[in-house]
Structure 1
Amino acid sequence: MEVTFKVYRFNPEFDDKPHYDEYKLEMGEDSVILDALNKIKWEIDGSLSYRRSCRHGICGSCAIKLNGKNVLACKTPIKEAVEQFGNVLIVEPLSKKKEKVIKDLVIDKKDFWDKNAKVKPYLIAEIDEHPTSENLIPPKLVELLEDADYCIACGCCYYTCETIRGGDTEFLGPQALAKTYRFTADVRDEAKKERLELVNELGIGVWDCVKCQGCIEVCPKGVDPFTKITHLHNQIFEEGVAKKNVATKHAEGFVHSIKKHGILDEGMLVLYSEGVNVVRHLPEAIAMFAKGKIKLPWQMPKSKGLDEIQKLIEISQTHELKD
């Protein structure tokens, strides 16, 4: 089948700005995007630069953006891409910020790797330097990891994250947070509290996730970083690491609201979270009230089956926010 590829090209040494080169290729129906990039480089334009290594979805090197979606080039069939996006496939680097592009599809991922290193992505435990047996755990305890150990650090989730794309350079990002959970869920690891204290910090940790859930959609290994971040929220409370601040009060406010009404009272949630600082949101509150988005306290309806909801909360709630 004939497919048109529009490939992002930018060489900072010679180009003032990026441009796209167009290539019309005849590709087999079993070909993947990496096959097309290889064909362009080997047969048409040897100057094209991109990363690749294992070709088996293990190394994560060939992550690129395809028609706006972050994917692994080696695991994305061209036939499926055409069915989803049409006969013109646009291939771009994970980030198009000029300061990040080294050349064409190759970007500087230093920020990504620095944050990965910051969470200490390795098991921390006092073990015999010369063990006579493996440090194994039962399969049921391995299941607690929920496939977090499948992460190949490709960066697909990191460069699709709305917090990262919004310019928050300190936020650890979904990959590093999912990697943190991989070890806080591992019963062999002895640094659980230390890890949770790191990701509990405002500005860098779990509380700065905007819950866009883009990381779920693009992860090629099904890790689901968003759910791992949610688990870290719970662990922070369970281990007594949580501190009283706007983020944790916001989380606790959800429980209070559901307990009282069975549904979320968005107006009181902000008041509960921010206290007197809520006045800065007054213009937004007035606009939301006019649209019926929030209600006055005496106008709040009660959910059907509120008694059952309250019983479920009492049964499931294992911790409360401490001073």
Structure 2
Amino acid sequence: MEELYQNYKTAVLQSGHPKASEIVLSNMSLVLDRVFVDVEDPFVFPPHHKALREPFDYYEFGQNYIRPLIDFRNSYVGNIGIFKDMEHKLKQGHNIILISNHQTEADPAVIALLLERTNPHIAENLIYVAGDRVITDPLCKPFSMGRNLICVYSKKHMFDVPELAEMKQKANIRSLKEMALLLRNGSQIIWIAPSGGRDRPDPVTGEWHPAPFDKSSVDNMRRLAENTGAPAHIYPLALLCHDIMPPPAKVEKEIGEKRVISFSGTGLSVGAEANFDEIAGAYENPEQAKEAYTKALYESVTDQYNVLKSAIHGKQRADTSSQAVSISQPWTNISVT
């Protein structure tokens, strides 16, 4: 907790905000309080967890904690019009699935902060498929309590403790059933990272790229969405925010990783809807069709990610917009502090 405080303080001070010290004390006091509350009376996440908004608003708590870490002057959203179209579809009872890369523990807050002024419905109603680490780590739990979650056990950690593997597999089946029930009702928007974990830099070059997608995870999500009755739409989503709270260099089994925190620009972009039938039509072999569909989603995420990277780290601003990705700063002329 002391290390987290010092790292958070350094990062917020980097922002140059005139009330940086006050922000640090206020936010870190709340973190300490919420962690202690949970230690004394641990919260147990159900398979489908709805964000806790009262009597304590955990959603706003998470937003307020991450907001001072984002350099909005150097942050961008790609294809804001597609997000608008998504909201229209949700109001019509359609389901939306976002196939995304995953960068940090702060991803849900970053997504919501970049969309809170233009697409508040998506920001507050997005459901995240979350691994067990974010609902067991004492420092993560209060932030996770403020998000809508489908709680699953990650494939990467399924056999960390062999005798628990069967329990984890059964828990995942319960979570999938909960997700199916949600989708059956329509008007749901769900985020999933089919890589099974966070992106990590290349150990040789240090360059960041979206981690490869797992074909079976993509296909399971697609079939689940398509077989629930309500119309379903799948979109590739790219997220760039690794500098805010990068993961450890290697996947760790133990809970309690070191939190490195920085003030940084961030980016979010959504690509055109990916239609499985259009892509699969060129293949007779079902496995090849699934592979091609996963590849198409991954390539879209990677292309969008590269546009965001050029704008944020290449300092090329909106000049980096491409034919497929139009980036903007929809909060321009709106106070974001």
Q: Which structure's CA Rg is the greater one? A: 1
TM exceeds 0.5?
Answer: no
Higher RCO (CA < 8 A, seq sep 6+): 2
TM superposition score normalised by structure 1? 0.29
Per the normalisation by structure 2, the TM-score is 0.28
